[in-house]
Amino acid sequence: MVELGQRLDPKDAASEKLFASQVTAVETVLRQSYGAAALLAKRAPTCQEAAQIWQTMSSFTDRVLSTLGLLKDRCPAGGVSALYDLALDYKSAAERRYQLNLEATLCQKMPLPEGLLPPLTSPV
């Protein structure tokens, strides 16, 4: 995409159309990846595994953002700015879910305070 953006001629309609289709393709991959991460995290057997999935999604959005960052000023009319904003939203959501799953992992490892629950067996 970066290579295509560098060759983009803003005055050429065919060039802009090709670049716009690439932007749409990247948006599709981003949306599908987030959906897949959500499904995988939901089915993860542990919160730690779910956290790893969200961390991977966050890393993926970092790579998308770095690529789009190179292009958003060069090709403002090509939809890159809107896609950059969407990628930022996905990055933020993935980071939030990562943190929530890390917290859940820590909570699962904390012992319950004594006296919080009644004893499972009655004293004889």
pLDDT reported for residue 11: 66
Q: What per-residue confidence (pLDDT) applies to 115? A: 81
**How confident is the model over 19-69, as pLDDT tens digits?**
788 889 899 999 999 999 999 999 999 999 999 999 999 999 999 999 888
b (16+ CB within 10 A) / e for 13-28: eeebeebeebbeebbe
- pLDDT digits 0-9 by tens, 79-112: 888 999 999 999 999 999 999 999 998 887 778 7
Q: Which helix (H) or strand (E) holds 101?
A: helix 80-109
pTM given for the model: 0.79
Selection from 66, 45, 53 nearest residue 98 by Cα = 53
What H or E segment, with its residue span, contains residue 68? helix 47-71
Asked if 22 and 4 touch (Cβ cutoff 8 Å), the reply is yes
